[in-house]
Structure 1
Amino acid sequence: MTIPRLSVSLGYWQDRPPEEALVTAEVADRLGYGELWIGEMATYDAFALATRVAEVTGQISLTIGPLPVSVRDPMTIARGVASVAGLTGRAVGVAVGTSSDVVVADWHGRDRRRAGTALRESAVALRQLLDGHKTTFEGEVVRTRGYHLRLPAPESELTVAAFGPSAVRTAALHADRMVLNLITPRSAAALVDRMRDEAKRADRAVPRVAAWVTAAVDPSDAAIEQIRRAVVAYLAAPGYGEMFAEAGFEDLVRFARTRPHPRDLLAEIPRELVAAIGLVGDHATMRSRLAEYAAAGVDEVAMVAASVPDDPGGERTLAALRALA
């Protein structure tokens, strides 16, 4: 039974201490995982955290992001990646995406309109900057003129977070890898096929595909509850709602789109939905689920391990999945 390559993504669970991210990083490195994804949410600056992670780990490579292209421009992203690589000596990749209205418009006060254009143009400019070229790029949304890295060029792998058609096309044409978040194997297969078609039409090597997947081996009630809470914001979202409906949760999606109080929506999320978009269950279930992602064309699963009092940092889950690999 073929399964994808496994990596680890920091969870930033809202009900856990922020510094527990460092515990997960140390565990992932100690268990021999090859890559750690360091996103950016409401706590740490991603570049600062990546530098600290390198101090508490030995060899694991780092991928920073996805960083929202409507907030961070290509020059600051490239400089940040080169800074982490130069200060730590690690291989450092970067991922970019369009993020959400909450992050871009509410938190940062930035305009998220034309985010698809910003993603495409950022990918083009960022590739040049990461390779150390003096870059002038005049796009419709993204502009940079005359900068090149003074630090050694990291020549980083570029990953694009995708879900809608525009982002999938950008990944196909400009990325080394496409990453899918909170995705069922069936929906992943459709997006992988679309991306491959776009890449082949452009006569370009097909990027690899990763999927972020929540994980909990033999989960406690606390772990299930933690993952259920993480799903709330996605149920009514365009595209995600349709995916959940296709997976058999039409009534729940319909209810979510009436905009109930999050507490009331959480109460309606069944355990079966958690299993539909995660690695949740015993070892046999996890192996079977990983095989489904592999069959969908996913090359790599980046696990976001539940972190609860009976499994702080997700160590038990990460150890179990490492054994499967």
Structure 2
Amino acid sequence: MAELSVALGLWQDRPSIEAVETARAADGCGYARLWIGEMATYDAFALGAALPGRIPLVLGPFAVAVRTPVQIAIGAATVAELTGRTVEVAIGSSSPVVVGGWHGRPSPSPARALAETAQSLRTLLDGGRADVDGEAVRTRGYRLRAPAPGGPITVAAFGPAAVRAAARHADRMVLNLLTPTSAARLVDAMRAAVPPGRAVPRTAAWVTAAVDPDEAALAQLRRGVVGYLAAPGYGEVFAEAGFGDLVAYARTRPKPAALLAAVPDELVACVGAVGSAEQVRERIAEYGVDEVCLVPVSTDADPAGRATLEALAP
């Protein structure tokens, strides 16, 4: 059985403060660590420093085109010293909507940016002075003043170039919104790309989870996949799982409400873990990774996903 962690859902249709209660539940139920992503809701460092409890934290993935290695290292060291927790960091390439639209930043070669950011972070998080003059990352002269948190560096990967970057520079590779079959394929590709003499990175998968879901929970899961149906790569994952007609429809750019109405429950089940507690545990085992990060659905019937986390507690 994979090690079980929790990733905050930060669901857009739920109160943002509910993330704090999900964190409390993860801490109280004894999960291995809490992953705090960063996109549309909270600053991950501020939330990590504000959360009660002692559960180890993984902050990110941070978009490497938005956050510099120095920013990430300072943030991680700040949270570690102020909270006394174990703090790790994760990086990823994010999406054009986030990088170019929200932040107005150019998008360098994602694989190059991931590799150079990981190399810079390794030095900075270990207390060294990173001097990097790369194609995507440039930093010189800074060393952490707060105690260096060290710890593994995680790379969020999906495309072949990002998977190779994870193989060469990460301590852990994390995957998201995949079927067990597609996840296994990426894990195999990463392991095959590890240079001789380098330790094989650990693997993790973010998996949406709902124990005994009601219609509101299933609706939340359906909303969560709509934006990925037409995306390159993700669309192919759904097509491989038997939903090629829906992917083709999504790529005609229909109105969001029409596309949402066409998403069947079977589709969200293929990239998540839903059903009875036993069914969810069986699904988790199918992923074959070192760590499964549960993203609990949060509804009025199960606020903060607490009931799901309690039912699956390690």
TM range (shorter): over 0.9
The residue that corresponds to 2:242 in the other structure is 248
2:88 aligned residue (75, 86, 93): 93
How many pairs are equivalent? 314
User: Mind listing any 5+ residue stretches in structure 1 that lack a counterpart?
Assistant: none
The residue that corresponds to 2:48 in the other structure is 50
2:300 aligned residue (295, 300, 309): 309
The residue that corresponds to 1:28 in the other structure is 26
The residue that corresponds to 1:281 in the other structure is 275
3-state SS of the aligned residue for 1:8? strand
- Ranges of 4+ aligned residues in structure 1 off by more than 3 Å: none
Deviation at 1:170, TM superposition (A): 1.0
Are 2:177 and 2:206, in contact at CA under 8 Å, matched by a contact in 1? yes
3-state SS of the aligned residue for 1:15? coil
Q: TM-score, normalised by structure 2?
A: 0.98
The residue that corresponds to 2:36 in the other structure is 38
Q: Which amino acid aligns with 2:258?
A: D
Q: Which amino acid aligns with 1:47?
A: F
Q: Which amino acid aligns with 2:6?
A: V
Q: C-alpha distance in 1, partners of 2:197/2:241? A: 34
Deviation at 1:34, TM superposition (A): 1.9
Are 1:173 and 1:202, in contact at CA under 8 Å, matched by a contact in 2? no
The alignment's C-alpha RMSD in Å is 0.9
The residue that corresponds to 1:78 in the other structure is 73
3-state SS of the aligned residue for 2:293? strand
Q: C-alpha distance in 2, partners of 1:233/1:145? A: 38
Deviation at 1:113, TM superposition (A): 3.6
Measured against aligned partners, the alpha-carbon deviations of 1:48-70 in whole angstroms (never above 9, x if no partner) come to 000011xx21x200000000000
The residue that corresponds to 1:320 in the other structure is 311
Q: Which amino acid aligns with 2:25?
A: V
The residue that corresponds to 2:205 in the other structure is 211
The residue that corresponds to 1:186 in the other structure is 181
2:224 aligned residue (230, 248, 255): 230
Q: C-alpha distance in 1, partners of 2:232/2:308? A: 31
Deviation at 1:283, TM superposition (A): 2.0
3-state SS of the aligned residue for 2:312? helix
Q: C-alpha distance in 2, partners of 1:140/1:287? A: 44
> Is 2:103 the partner of 1:108?
yes
Q: TM-score, normalised by structure 1?
A: 0.95
Q: Which amino acid aligns with 2:134?
A: G
Measured against aligned partners, the alpha-carbon deviations of 1:136-191 in whole angstroms (never above 9, x if no partner) come to 00101100001111111100211000000111111111111000011100001100
Q: C-alpha distance in 2, partners of 1:81/1:221? A: 38
Deviation at 1:91, TM superposition (A): 0.3
> Is 2:146 the partner of 1:146?
no
